[in-house]
């Protein structure tokens, strides 16, 4: 024989149950949205991205300085060749000079050229040494690229996975929210939305004498009042915090 109780449909949820369920869904959605925007994985990605950017800037700076040194060395070599050619012409001219004063002037000019050539040689040597050092630094710097790219990629993937999971959860919560809101009256929803916007948590049950929203105890007279007010629907306002009080 079939049990009659088993075949009877379950009673639809009451207004207090719907309100508490809606508040629970909205609270869960708020928590997940907060986690989505404030995830430690987001900080990790930001830090990894900044580190990679700093690495790229340092690489660019090294390459730029190496190029500057290369251009400077090339200019020094060109200028040195010009000065050397000029000195060689002066040496040839010295072989034809007879007047002492003219010879003295040529020797002075040659000495000046020697000083300039020496300065260029020193500059070129210093530039070559710096360039060699920077080449070694750039090689070592480039060797670390893989680590930075990998860290940034992993951080990006981890955040994307977490955000994807949260978005799916939010979508499920949105469906549940729509279903619950569809079972409540427009007037009650307007009240709920207004209180939620002002207080964050719009609905709270009365447990014993205490409102679980503000955690204040109601007086005996207030208890009697809220019970009378909630006699029909099971819902009234908390006299202390104004939340929808489930009695």
Within 10 angstroms of residue 133's Cβ, the number of other Cβ atoms is 11
The two structure tokens encoding residue 113: 């050229």
Average pLDDT over residues 188-202: 96
pLDDT at residue 9 tops 80:
no
Average pLDDT over residues 86-104: 90
Give 106-124 pLDDT, tens digit per residue.
999 999 999 999 999 999 9
pLDDT at residue 4 tops 50:
no
Residue extents of the structural domains in the chain: 36-175
- Angstrom distance (rounded) from CA 25 to CA 176: 7
Give 202-223 pLDDT, tens digit per residue.
999 999 999 999 999 999 999 9
- Angstrom distance (rounded) from CA 190 to CA 187: 5
Give 37-75 pLDDT, tens digit per residue.
999 999 999 999 999 999 999 999 999 999 999 999 999
pLDDT at residue 140 tops 90:
yes
- Angstrom distance (rounded) from CA 31 to CA 26: 9
Name the E strands within the chain: 203-207, 210-211, 235-237, 244-246
Which residues, in sequence order, are CB contacts of 77 under 8 Å at separation 6+?
124
What are the two backbone dihedrals, phi and then psi, of residue 3, each rounded to the nearest 5 degrees?
-75, 120
pLDDT above 70 covers what percent of the chain?
96
Q: At what angle do helices 15-37 and 186-199 cross, to 10 degrees?
A: 40
Average pLDDT over residues 236-244: 96
- Angstrom distance (rounded) from CA 60 to CA 208: 69
The sign of the CA dihedral 214, 217, 221, 226 is positive
- Angstrom distance (rounded) from CA 224 to CA 247: 11
Which pTM value belongs to this model?
0.73
pLDDT confidence band for 235 (50 / 70 / 90): very high
Which residues, in sequence order, are CB contacts of 214 under 8 Å at separation 6+?
204, 238, 240, 241, 243
Tell me the HSE value of 175 on the side-chain side, using a 13 A CA sphere: 5
Length of the chain: 247
Contact between residue 205 and residue 177 where contact means Cβ atoms under 8 Å apart: no
pLDDT confidence band for 176 (50 / 70 / 90): very high
CATH architecture, range 36-175 = Orthogonal Bundle (1.10)
Average pLDDT over residues 152-167: 98
pLDDT computed for residue 7 by the predictor: 54
pLDDT computed for residue 6 by the predictor: 55
pLDDT computed for residue 2 by the predictor: 46
């Amino acid at each position: 024989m079939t049990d009659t109780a088993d075949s009877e449909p379950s009673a639809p949820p009451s207004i207090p149950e719907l309100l508490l369920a809606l508040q629970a869904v909205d609270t869960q959605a708020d928590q997940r949205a907060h986690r989505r925007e404030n995830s430690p994985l987001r900080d990790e990605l930001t830090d990894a991205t900044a580190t990679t950017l700093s690495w790229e800037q340092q690489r660019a700076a090294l390459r730029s300085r190496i190029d500057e040194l290369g251009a400077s060395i090339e200019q020094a070599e060109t200028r040195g060749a010009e000065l050397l050619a000029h000195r060689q012409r002066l040496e040839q001219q010295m072989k034809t000079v007879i007047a002492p004063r003219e010879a003295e002037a040529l020797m002075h000019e040659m000495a000046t050229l020697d000083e300039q050539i020496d300065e260029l040689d020193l500059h070129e040597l210093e530039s070559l040494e710096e360039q060699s050092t920077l080449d070694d630094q750039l090689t070592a710097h480039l060797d670390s690229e893989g680590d930075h790219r990998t860290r940034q990629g992993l951080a990006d993937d981890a955040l994307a996975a977490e955000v994807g999971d949260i978005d799916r959860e939010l979508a499920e919560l949105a469906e549940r929210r729509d279903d619950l809101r569809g079972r409540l009256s427009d007037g009650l929803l307007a009240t709920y939305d207004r209180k939620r916007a002002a207080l964050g948590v719009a609905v709270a049950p009365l447990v014993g004498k205490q409102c679980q929203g503000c955690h204040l105890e109601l007086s005996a007279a207030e208890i009697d009042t809220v019970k009378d007010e909630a006699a029909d629907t099971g819902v009234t306002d908390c006299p202390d915090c104004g939340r929808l009080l489930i009695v």
